[in-house]
Amino acid sequence: MSSSEIPKTINGLKIILGMAGIGDPSSPSCRFPNVEATKELLIAFARRGYRDLDTARNYPPGKPETCEPMMGEALESLQKDADVVKGVPFIIDTKLRFAPPNKHSKEMVEKSIDGSLKALKMEKLHVEYLHGYDETSPIPETCKAMDKAYKEGKFEKFGISNASADVLEQFFETCEAEGLEVKPQVYQGDYSVLSRDCEGKLLDTCRKHGMPYYAYSPAGGGLMNSKAYRERQGGRFDNSNRLGQIYRNQHYKDHLIEAAEKVRELASANGLSGHVLALRWAVWHSKLSEKHGDGIILGASSIEQLNANLDAIESGPLPDTIVHAIEDIWSAAKAKGQQKPQL
């Protein structure tokens, strides 16, 4: 890739590498525990033609604020030494520290953004997200703090993650009422073959305001793996750690587990894994589109898995018969889910 080229897309979608597995090795999510391992991951991603990275002050789960410094050291070294990335900088998105009290107060917004810039060794971020909705901080205060940082040149785009459509509208209304220069410009949320809550009001709201949707957990947060793998110690659904509890609450429901088994059976019958099928569906058959500037955030526990994930999504769309079968499975799961009480 020459310096005149831009990161490639697949089916028009931006491909973004999630960095939650980088940082302090005592984190249950950590897979890349030092600068050298991080550099190898970034080089592997860059060699495939991609540059977009997604991180957060909270990464990795359980050991926050240890991912960004490691990334900063790796990125600084790569920009100086590695021919594979020289002249084509990585594009860095991050998220505010999301921790009580007053997660999105004026002071916390400023402290978090400045902390990210220092840790990542950058002068300006691409997207700065609110990592979630903080009910303890007034929306006007948060919006004004983000507007101030934007005017100071600290980030290019204001992002919001994990907020409802109604909350998103409140942010737009507030920015408009306060006459602020910057408004929410990018949304990041969960979206996969068996997690489609965003397809209604939330996506409609994003489209209304011209916001790209960047989808994380496109393979269902590991739901497509076998039961033994899903429930292994230290795994995505390990109930002994906070991250595992979050993913269990989000994905580990009877009707979704049943549907995931059917998706895995469908995939196996067609020579695929459930994981690969889910990734290909997200890129080629979901409601994400080039028209809206949407993107997919991929995770990877190893360089081998990174390359396998990229191979999967680069291999093209699924056959129509598989797509139709997936929709039948989803329709049945959705109906069962609506019959269950919300706990």
Global pTM reads 0.93
* Lowest mean per-residue pLDDT among 23-32, 102-111, 228-237, 260-269: 228-237
Write the single-letter amino acid at 247. Answer: Y
Phi, psi of 254 (to 5 degrees): -55, -45
CB–CB of 218/191 below 8 Å? yes
Two structure tokens written together for 330: 């989803």
Sort residue 87 into left (φ over 0), alpha (ψ -120 to 50) or beta. left
- Split at pLDDT 50, 70, 90, the class of 38 is very high
- pLDDT tens digit sequence for 217-255: 999 888 887 665 566 555 666 666 666 666 667 667 889
- Split at pLDDT 50, 70, 90, the class of 336 is confident
- Split at pLDDT 50, 70, 90, the class of 132 is very high
Number of Cβ atoms within 10 Å of the Cβ of 136: 10
* Lowest mean per-residue pLDDT among 70-84, 106-120, 186-200: 70-84
Compute the distance between CA of residue 327 and CA of residue 319 in angstroms, rounded to an integer.
13
Q: Average pLDDT in the 319-343 region?
A: 83
- pLDDT tens digit sequence for 59-81: 999 999 999 999 999 999 998 77
Q: Is 338 buried (19+), middle (13-18) or exposed (0-12) by CB count in 10 A? A: exposed
* Lowest mean per-residue pLDDT among 198-202, 212-216, 336-340: 336-340
Percentage of the chain with pLDDT > 70?
Answer: 87
Q: Is the pLDDT at 94 greater than 50, yes or no? A: yes
Catalytic residue among 59, 129, 191, 213: 59
Cβ neighbours of residue 248 closer than 8 Å, sequence gap 6 or more: 237, 239
Compute the distance between CA of residue 64 and CA of residue 19 in angstroms, rounded to an integer.
12
Two structure tokens written together for 247: 């993913």
**Residue 247 designated active-site:** no
Q: Under CATH, which number does the domain 9-222+287-316 receive?
A: 3.20.20.100
Higher-scoring residue by pLDDT: 172, 227: 172
Phi, psi of 309 (to 5 degrees): -65, -45
User: Of the candidates 57, 48, 42, 153, which has an alpha carbon nearest to the alpha carbon of residue 91?
Assistant: 42
Phi, psi of 178 (to 5 degrees): -85, -5
SS3 340: coil
Question: What mean pLDDT, rounded, does the chain reach?
Answer: 91
Sorted by where each begins, the domain ranges of the chain are 9-222+287-316
Phi, psi of 177 (to 5 degrees): -65, -35
Q: Is 20 buried (19+), middle (13-18) or exposed (0-12) by CB count in 10 A? A: buried
Give pLDDT, residue 225: 78
What does the radius of gyration of the chain's CA atoms come to, in whole angstroms? 20
Range list of β-strands (E), 227-312: 295-298
Q: Beta 213-216 vs 184-190: how paired, if at all?
A: parallel
Phi, psi of 314 (to 5 degrees): -80, -10
Placement of tokens 């100071």 in the chain: 152
Placement of tokens 């989808």 in the chain: 215
